[in-house]
Structure 1
């Protein structure tokens, strides 16, 4: 008999996460304690339960200003090495507790330089945190592998320096590069030299595209910059026509994305907060998965969206009627699309993912 699907049983399933922001996933209590330790004065409350609700409500407000205010607080308390180590270690523990066996966690080093840390000190502190967290998880008998993505903020200069940092630390756990921040007005083609450098260095990169801006952002990310994956990518649905009789016609860009198996790092709850859809039922993920795009399911910002990868899966199960086979498909899609080596990807699929789902469907 197949194990019934519930949030708890989904939590026990092996899962893979490709799009998770370090500064968007802190524990509320940790935010409070780090603020106290560093003298940060800006928090709206020092009650952990109330603070968690505050982050969620701000993210749900429909106001970008209020949404970004949450990151001002999390980044505000992550300005020293000890804080970065702690936040990174706890992220690993929290992801492992949710059944994640492989995760790529991203952050922008330039956001943590306010108190004088160098970019290198920031990267090394976060990598140390991931090492500490992974060791704690291993001591409990569980397995998790963490890869790091370094982000450049697209509204700022200095993309190439962050790309060079990603290449310099790629043998120490940094698996790729990304650009994050506002899409509108800051197209990925602003940094063509950066993406050319990454390709020359045989380095991996994803690009936030098709979240708050439309098809031109996706087209530039792929065709001008050479993105291997699309961060969110939900607006690819704008190049798909569904007729009244259910007939589907893909435009040339959508067909290219599907044919080339370009992964979509979709984050359902976060996409509702940023206006990509009004409900999970209306979210493009349902159509894109049905059409067999390379869809992956992700959390984006676990604190702001008050979500886990398990809760994202559970929402999709409830809305679209997905079963264990669908969740395994999403998971293998993500593992195939990760930025670690082929042998290691295959080992995680064959040794952790497939046996885990087989046990749930036996």
Structure 2
């Protein structure tokens, strides 16, 4: 089923139950919320109304440079330094995701970046947890069942990774399901944080690592072999190790074979990767090549504010600009569900939640003909 077969693609994609694995809490604020919270804390913004502010975030993120892209977070982090600010941002994130048809999401953020007003690391996690719970309750009351968990990030350029890993483990029985390192990729490899990753491995706790976004294959290899990542955040540069032959076959390098053979999932974010220069366009984004070559491809938003996007929009861009079918869209949602940081029985239930409506007769949703 192609986009031409569906008269209202946007509605169809929003109604499809979706799974979002790579979405930054501090990159998903509503512009109006940034304005209100900034006024409360006295933080100066580059625009004074919500529409203009939203446009500024998108324009600033369109620079083609990851460091410039990351500079936009000065303004979002400034308004996420209090319990009230964190709770509101987390609550609204859940509501926005639920309105987009997301049924499971992992919200990642770096607790160490929210301590400027005196909060402790645990207070940050507790505030986000409270906001997520409020959002899930409100969404359920409105008829949208959604589960949202936390992935805690440590900043690559800092030295608190072991502390953040211990924080994640201390909250694993509540709603923290994974660990990540984020920030500037070049020059800040995971070997700097070997103690943290050893702690996580010994505790059987999963890590996803930002890799293969601003740096190349060596960064991906370090994420896998030094950090022990079980998912790759972005991983778009892995395409440098994948080549299509004229006869339609595939030639893979050693690293690409390793990733594909072990079914390591890729958390690809089309719009964000275009903004940071990791991909030339959505039409030519390596996500399509990697999926055709048999990799475990998932699609995410990265930062909904900076990209002016949603998961439905990202999937719609792939359908309209990269030639994806609606079956492709359903399949990558199932792949995401199978690689969520949940226990296997929970993942199976999540997969069933996606494929059950896709198999129901008498409707026009994507993939409905797929049993």
Question: Partners in 1 of 2:253 and 2:69 — Cα distance?
Answer: 33
1:227-242 matches, within 5 Å, as 227-242=229-244
User: Which structure 2 residues correspond to residues 47-196 of structure 1 after superposition, within 5 A?
Assistant: 47-64=49-66, 66-196=68-198
1:355 maps to 356
Partner secondary structure for residue 72 of structure 2: helix
**Is the contact between residue 319 and residue 326 of structure 2 (CA under 8 Å) also seen in structure 1?**
no
Quickly say closer, same or farther: Cα 1:4–1:354, change in 2 above 3 A.
farther
Deviations along 1:201-251, whole A, 9 cap, x unmatched? 111111001100000011111122211000000111111123345442011
Q: Is this contact kept in 2: 1:5–1:323, CA < 8 A? A: no
In the alignment, which of 273, 292, 295 is matched to residue 293 of structure 1? Answer: 295
1:208 to 195, 207, 210: 210
Q: Distance in 1 between matches of 2:226 and 2:130?
A: 35
Q: What TM-score, normalized to structure 1? A: 0.96
Distance in 2 (CA, whole Å) between partners of 1:113 and 1:164 is: 17
TM-fit CA distance, 1:65 = 5.0
Question: What's the RMSD between the two structures over aligned residues?
Answer: 1.4
Question: 2:17 corresponds to which residue?
Answer: 14
Q: Does the aligned pair in 2 maintain the 1:20–1:300 contact within 8 Å? A: yes
Give SS of 1:332's match: helix
Residues 9-45 of structure 1: CA deviation (Å, up to 9, x unaligned): 11111110000000000000000000111222x2011
In structure 2, what is the equivalent of residue 25 of structure 1? Answer: 28
CA distance in 2, matches of 1:229, 1:218: 10
Task: Give distance in 1, aligned partners of 2:219 and 2:70.
Answer: 21
For the residue of structure 2 that corresponds to 1:103, the secondary structure is strand
Residue 335 of structure 1 corresponds to which residue in structure 2?
Answer: 337
The normalised TM-score by structure 2 is 0.94
Q: Check whether the contact 1:105–1:148 (CA below 8 A) recurs between aligned residues.
A: yes
Is 1:34 the counterpart of 2:34? The answer is: no
Structure 2: tracts of 5 or more residues without a match = none
Q: 1:175 aligns to what SS in structure 2?
A: strand
Asked if 2 retains the 8 angstrom alpha-carbon contact of 1:93 and 1:133, the reply is yes
Q: Which string of whole-angstrom CA distances, capped at 9 and with x for unpartnered residues, describes residues 168-218 of structure 1? A: 011110001000001100011111121111011111111001100000011
Matches within 5 A, 1:298-313: 298-313=300-315
Tell me by how many angstroms 1:131 deviates. 0.3
SS at match of 2:104: strand
- Provide the C-alpha distance between the structure 2 equivalents of 1:62 and 1:213, rounded to a whole number of angstroms: 14
